[in-house]
Structure 1
């Protein structure tokens, strides 16, 4: 039951039902998730270990806050893992057929440039994740994959605090297509450069200062 409660909690965090910086008392959280308090407490402990929320003893929980530092750290971590995943995929000769992924990105890009369609933000999020998830498969390392998964959830909370603008959707898809081009060419160095550029542009669009290396 604790596993089910944890999955329900993850859905609430990913979908923004529990928003970044929000305080929720334990009784309210139990009611929202629909599981017994023992299962919810265990779920909360797991989420706390992933950095998704903070347990406030005898009060409740505080969902992670999407501060500039947290945002920068999470996106930096993703870029590092993306680069290593790309490098390993290419080195192992394991780059899959990228045509379906490319087609999905082009479709979202064209929709965004055309003024958008209903449901575009969620479609863009799903397409965005599809590339990052692909790169994570290249890690081929359970601890690294687990670190990616936890960071993926933290970024989902961060994304829910910021609006998805059509202009950013278009530019993000174009940045992803550059990464796909590098993967297709089996050019690890270019892939990492494209990944780094995507990281820097995401920070810029979100108004987060890029610190000097």
Structure 2
């Protein structure tokens, strides 16, 4: 009776390992690999890896191609546009709901993190700056997603967050874009703090448009 539970645990652990490999860039956008290579990379039994691949395929992170192997999602312009547009819609609704119910807890800490990263990006080109900046960048989007207060919407956000990680790993987060992104996020934070729904919605739209422009998508 223990085997099914053990198998479910291994599948869950394999999925977490796969997610981490996608987040940290060990698996890159558009990359092809065999099931055997994925087993070797993640160090889990093939049955657990197959289940993890099935879950990832359902979320559009991987594609299982007959006789060709597995391909990581490609960060092509249409995929970037759709992922950013999806995130923007959830960000806007999250901001709207947080303002409506007055749930602004944690906003001061977000502001402090963003101001710190903006000031650092203005003067520092440290090697690990992009990694730090992505964490700060995601902290606002996560905050807005938490404001949705809906398990289905937050699950959809989490899946899209993984797709965004693949996209972000395909191009370095350059110092000048870090600075401007932090400024755009601070404008969103200002609007939420002032409980100004219309300005928050517009600021989130502007941030999405500027991000698309940075990716060369108009």
TM-score grouping bracket, smaller chain normalisation: over 0.9
Q: Distance in 1 between matches of 2:139 and 2:107?
A: 11
After superposition, what is the alpha-carbon deviation per residue over 1:19-78, rounded to whole angstroms, capped at 9, x for unaligned?
A: 000001000000100000000000000000111010112432100000100000000000
Q: TM-score, normalised by structure 2?
A: 0.94
Unaligned runs of 5+ in 1: none
Q: Distance in 2 between matches of 1:148 and 1:198?
A: 17
User: Which of 79, 91, 103 matches 1:94?
Assistant: 103
Report the counterpart of residue 165 of structure 1 in structure 2. Answer: 174
Question: 1:7-156 to 2 correspondence within 5 Å?
Answer: 7-156=16-165
- The alignment of Structure 1 onto Structure 2 pairs a total of residues equal to 209
Contact 1:26 1:59 in 2 (8 A): no
Name the SS for the 1:61 alignment partner: strand
Q: Distance in 2 between matches of 1:97 and 1:85?
A: 14
Residues 92, 98 of structure 1: alpha-carbon distance in 2 compared, 3 angstrom cutoff:
same
Q: Distance in 2 between matches of 1:38 and 1:97?
A: 41
Report the counterpart of residue 14 of structure 2 in structure 1. Answer: 5
Q: TM-score, normalised by structure 1?
A: 0.96
Q: Distance in 1 between matches of 2:31 and 2:169?
A: 12
Name the SS for the 1:162 alignment partner: coil
Q: Distance in 2 between matches of 1:138 and 1:33?
A: 34
Shift of residue 116, structure 1, vs aligned partner: 2.4
Q: Distance in 1 between matches of 2:17 and 2:101?
A: 37
Q: What is the RMSD of the two structures over their aligned residues, measured on CA atoms? A: 0.9
Shift of residue 119, structure 1, vs aligned partner: 1.5
Name the SS for the 2:33 alignment partner: strand
Q: Distance in 1 between matches of 2:107 and 2:26?
A: 33
Q: Distance in 1 between matches of 2:66 and 2:54?
A: 12
User: Which of 201, 205, 211 matches 1:196?
Assistant: 205
Structure 1 residue ranges, 4+ long, deviating more than 2 angstroms after superposition: 115-118
After superposition, what is the alpha-carbon deviation per residue over 1:114-173, rounded to whole angstroms, capped at 9, x for unaligned?
A: 032341111100000000000001111111111000000000000000111100000000
Question: Which range moved further: 89-98 or 180-189?
Answer: 89-98
Q: Distance in 2 between matches of 1:101 and 1:108?
A: 11
Contact 1:111 1:117 in 2 (8 A): no
Contact 1:83 1:192 in 2 (8 A): yes
Q: Distance in 2 between matches of 1:97 and 1:206?
A: 30
Unaligned runs of 5+ in 2: 1-9
